[in-house]
Amino acid sequence: MPRRAAVHRLPMSGPSDTSAIEALFAAGALAPRDIVAILGKTEGNGCVNDFTRGYAVQCLRAALSRHVLPGEIDRIPMVMSGGTEGGLSPHWIVLSATEGPGSAIGPALALASDVTRPLCPSEIGRGAQVALVRDAVRTAMARAGIAGPGDVHFVQIKCPLLTSERIAQVAGDVATSDTLKSMGLSRAAAALGVAEALGETGPVPEAAIGTDLSLWSSRASASAGIEVMSCEIVVLGLSAEWSGDLAIAHAVMRDAIDAPALAAILPGAAPAAGAGPGTGGLVAVLAKAEASSGGAIRGSRHTMRDDSDISATRHARGFVGGVLAGLTGLTELFVSGGAEHQGPDGGGPVAIIYRKDIDP
């Protein structure tokens, strides 16, 4: 019996506002038990002391607890990415799947998740994390019935970070004692786990984590958050086992202003900038943003990494958000910061979920 994916992109008025999700429940438009994962773009700083992510998760759990059993909640990845810089708009993306009659006319959007065991603080940003993520991606692919790595178009991961307390727990045996930097190493290790799983790299040596930027995945997107100790993985792709009108495509932005990369996969032929009639078919946009390590974009200096008032990840999200918003006319864009090993240095993967009736 074929499965069918649904994707709801919903506004939130703050990290505690789950009303749009609850309205779907009340209207019968979404069954709580069909939820596979929930992504959220919340309005914190996206860095170490961003409590909007934990707050949002707590509110999601409270909302879901009125509909499903506690054990069921635990198996739903809730990947909150903090930071709605610039005109980005806080929103939820609820991913769900149903089984039903009819035959698959796919390939169509396919999705599934997996959650690793909790990491020890010493494992964050190290080889152990790479291996855990790699195995979880494979598990999720199998669950989703995705035939091979070529059919995977986006892998979203939520991974843990280090805090002063966690560093103390393991007596300083950590990849870095800089808490902000730990977010980058955790994202780096997670992304390399995806790259291994998808065959984009061979086995990655621990020393390459966060340093050898020639190694990267074209489909990984990792966010670090204080509220998790496990890695939560959501795999999205295409599968003949799934039916429905949704599809997914991805591209790699080679730098922060590589709008043509996205333009090439937008639904509708030859979309005019920002006004593509085809963008009406867009359901969700998922992208990574990053300040290039060399301090320049196409040879012109940027100041993101030398700004001690605003972290580079905040700069990059708002700026790349502008690039994507100009092209799509949308501001509910899941742009997440920190793209270590996620696309080339300074660039990053971008994926769109769209309705198939408007072919890409």
Q: Which stretch binds a second copy (CB under 8 A): 66-74, 164-172, 188-196, 350-358?
A: 164-172
Q: Which residues contact 181 (CB under 8 A, 6 or more apart)?
A: none
**How many other CB atoms are there within 10 angstroms of residue 294's CB atom?**
13
Could you say whether residue 177 binds a second copy (CB under 8 A)? yes
288 in active site: no
Q: Which stretch binds a second copy (CB under 8 A): 98-106, 132-140, 186-194, 303-311?
A: 303-311
**Residue number with CB closer to a second copy (25 or 51):** 51
Q: Which residue of 295, 355, 356, 360 would you call a contact of a second copy, by CB under 8 A?
A: 295
Could you say whether residue 14 binds a second copy (CB under 8 A)? yes
Could you say whether residue 18 binds a second copy (CB under 8 A)? no
Burial status of residue 26 (CB atoms within 10 A of its CB: 0-12, 13-18, 19 or more): exposed
The two most distant CA atoms of the chain are separated, in Å, by: 57
How many CA atoms within 13 Å lie on the side-chain side of 163? 14
Min. distance of Cβ 84 from a second copy in angstroms?
5
| 54 contacts 48 by C-beta, under 8 angstroms | no
Could you say whether residue 271 binds a second copy (CB under 8 A)? yes
Alpha helix segments (H runs only) across 198-311: 259-263
- Among 41, 158, 243, 336, the active-site one is 158
41 in active site: no
Could you say whether residue 50 binds a second copy (CB under 8 A)? yes
**Residue number with CB closer to a second copy (52 or 156):** 52
**Residue number with CB closer to a second copy (71 or 299):** 299
- Among 223, 239, 243, 311, the active-site one is 223
Could you say whether residue 43 binds a second copy (CB under 8 A)? yes
Min. distance of Cβ 68 from a second copy in angstroms?
18
Beta-strand relationship, 3-11 and 35-42: unpaired
Could you say whether residue 298 binds a second copy (CB under 8 A)? yes
Q: Which residue of 67, 305, 355, 356 would you call a contact of a second copy, by CB under 8 A?
A: 305
Could you say whether residue 169 binds a second copy (CB under 8 A)? no
Alpha helix segments (H runs only) across the chain: 19-27, 52-65, 70-74, 127-144, 164-169, 179-197, 259-263, 312-328
**Residue number with CB closer to a second copy (98 or 169):** 169
Residues 71-110 that bind a second copy (CB under 8 A): 84-91
Site string for a second copy, 216-255 (x = CB under 8 A): ----------x-----------------------------
Could you say whether residue 125 binds a second copy (CB under 8 A)? no
Cα separations in angstroms, 357 against 97, 239, 245, 246, 267: 20, 17, 7, 9, 9
Burial 64-89 (b: 16+ CB within 10 A, else e): beeeeeeeebeebbbbbbbbbbbebe
DSSP 78-121: EEEEE---TT---EEEEEEEEE-SS-----EEEEEEEEPPPPPG
Q: Which stretch binds a second copy (CB under 8 A): 105-113, 189-197, 323-331, 336-344?
A: 323-331
Say if residue 32 is preceded by a cis peptide, omega within 30 of 0: no
Min. distance of Cβ 21 from a second copy in angstroms?
16
Q: Which residue of 263, 265, 268, 360 would you call a contact of a second copy, by CB under 8 A?
A: 263
Could you say whether residue 203 binds a second copy (CB under 8 A)? no
Q: Which residues contact 336 (CB under 8 A, 6 or more apart)?
A: 41, 46, 81, 83, 221, 222, 223, 286, 287, 288, 289, 317
Instruction: Give the position of tokens 């796919």.
Output: 106
- Active-site residues, by number, are 158, 223
